[in-house]
Structures are given as C-alpha cells and as structure tokens.
C-alpha cells in the first residue's frame, strides 16, 4: 500500500522522483512526435498521414507544443483526418500559449482569414508580432502586409518594408516578391529596377509564381535587365503552370 499523508491522500513523491517522471514523460512525447513526423514526411517509413495524426495526438495530449501545432496543421489541411478548422484552432492556441512561433503565426492566419474563428485583424497582428519577435520569417512577412495595408494596426509603409527586409534576409519568397515590387514601384524606397530584378530572381528560384510573373515582366520590357522575350516567355510559362491567370494572359499577349 502507498503511504498517505495526514489528510488521507497519497503522500507526494519526492522532488527528484517527480522531476524524473516529468523528464520521462517529456522524452516519450518527443519520441512520439518525431515518429509522427517520419510518417508525415515518409522518412524511413511508408508515408501514412493517419498514423502521423495518431502519434501527434498522443504527444499533443502530453502538452508537446510542436505536436499540438503539427496536429493543428493536419486538421487544417485535412491530412490523415477530416479537415476541421474548428479543431485546428484550439490546437494552435495550446501551442501558441507555450510560445511556439509557428503556431502563433498559423493562428494569426486563421484570424485573418476567419477560418475556424471569427475574423480579427488586431488579434492576428498580436500573434504575428509574437512570432516575428522570435524570428519567424512568415510572421515577419505577414505582419509586413498588415502594416502595409493598415489591417489591425496603423498603416505604416516604412515598418512594412523593415519587416519585409527581415523576412527576405531569411529567404522568404513572398517577402522577396513583395519587396521587389516595392523597389520596382519606388514606394518608400528609391525606385531601383535592378534591385527589383534581384529580389524577383530569388523568389522565382524558389518556385514562387508571383516572382516568376514579375521577373518575366522585367525581361519582357527590359527593366533592370536586358530585354529578352524568350526568357520572359519561359518565366510566364512557369507561373502559368501554377495557375496564375496573369501569366496566362501575358503568354497569350506575346503569342498574338
């Protein structure tokens, strides 16, 4: 029989024993999460989204923030489980409350788009700020958009550019494309077509359809780079293959 304290309940375990138990639980949660990732990505095992969900559920139930975030993502995408934004949101909340930057950013997106939760730009900004402060490039780029368009925060082009620069330095394709457009148009910064081309190239090299389209336009009209119709067509084709209607229209124009 276990020992009992004066109140009749089981006596608490000594601190070292409690610490060891907590460490074992954390190790188990991490192990389950890592195993779930293997099934999610098909690394060393046959890809199995349902098994990834099962393992992430176990780890998430133990309070593992990354597992909670990943499980939220799987619910949001409908991978291995029926798509359910309302289920994704509380999972992101749990992870975000633990300071998980990706969860904070993803939850911000849910608030911007009104997925599984009422639209709330101010709350999205709050969450993006938390993630951006941790260096999350997607959050930096998304927060830049909020400042650029004055959504949930006062409109501030200079702050938007600062954030786009931070995200661009980490290789974020959306930010590279947006910042390229800012240099092309000469908004906030001095107009610089050559810098716009450089940024569009970086985004296009990552398969970013907008970057491919904009770089194609620079080649078509000889802005910041020598005019090359064949290169413009090649880039427009890449963007059109991703479903970008503007790229298809550009191709049709050049073929006319």
* Domain assignment present for 11: no
Q: Is residue 235 part of a domain?
A: yes
Q: Domain containing 254: what range?
A: 173-256
98-to-48, 67, 129, 172 alpha-carbon distances in Å: 28, 12, 15, 25
Q: How many domains does the chain have?
A: 1
> Could you tell me if residue 94 is inside a domain?
no
Q: Is residue 253 in a domain?
A: yes
Q: Residue 143 contacts by C-beta under 8 Å, 6 or more apart in sequence? A: 125, 128, 129, 132, 163
CA distance 177 to 196: 8
In a domain, 206, yes or no: yes
The CATH number of the domain holding residue 217 is 1.25.40.10
Determine, yes or no, domain membership for 233. yes
Indicate whether this model's pTM tops 0.85. yes
Give bridge partners of residue 4 from the DSSP assignment. 10
3 secondary structure, DSSP code: -
Query: One digit per residue, pLDDT tens: the chain, 256 residues?
Result: 234 333 344 455 565 555 555 566 667 899 999 999 999 999 999 999 999 999 999 999 999 999 999 999 999 999 999 999 999 999 999 999 999 999 999 999 999 999 999 999 999 999 999 999 999 999 999 999 999 999 999 999 999 999 999 999 999 999 999 999 999 999 999 999 999 999 999 999 999 999 999 999 999 999 999 999 999 999 999 999 999 999 999 999 998 7
| Residue 220, CB-side half-sphere exposure with 13 Å CA sphere | 17
> Has residue 239 been placed in a domain?
yes
106 in a structural domain: no
């Amino acid at each position: 029989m276990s020992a009992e304290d004066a109140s009749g309940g089981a006596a608490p375990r000594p601190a070292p024993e409690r610490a060891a138990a907590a460490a074992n639980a954390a190790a188990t949660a991490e192990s389950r999460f890592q195993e779930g990732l293997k099934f999610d990505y098909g690394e060393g095992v046959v890809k199995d989204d349902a098994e990834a969900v099962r393992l992430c559920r176990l780890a998430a139930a133990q309070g593992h923030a990354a597992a909670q975030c990943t499980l939220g993502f799987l619910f949001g995408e409908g991978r291995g489980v029926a798509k359910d934004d309302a289920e994704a949101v509380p999972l992101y909340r749990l992870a975000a409350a633990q300071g998980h930057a990706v969860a904070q950013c993803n939850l911000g997106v849910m608030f911007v788009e009104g997925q599984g939760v009422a639209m709330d730009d101010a709350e999205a900004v709050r969450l993006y700020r938390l993630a951006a402060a941790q260096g999350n490039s997607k959050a930096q780029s998304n927060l830049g958009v909020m400042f650029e368009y004055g959504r949930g925060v006062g409109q501030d082009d200079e702050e938007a550019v600062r954030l786009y620069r931070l995200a661009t330095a980490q290789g974020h394709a959306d930010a590279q494309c947006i910042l390229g457009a800012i240099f092309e148009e000469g908004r906030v910064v001095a107009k610089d077509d050559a810098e716009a081309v450089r940024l569009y190239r970086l985004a296009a090299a990552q398969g970013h359809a907008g970057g491919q389209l904009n770089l194609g336009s620079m080649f078509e009209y000889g802005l910041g780079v020598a005019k090359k119709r064949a290169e413009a067509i090649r880039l427009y084709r890449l963007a059109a293959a991703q479903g970008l209607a503007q790229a298809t229209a550009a191709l049709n124009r050049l073929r006319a």
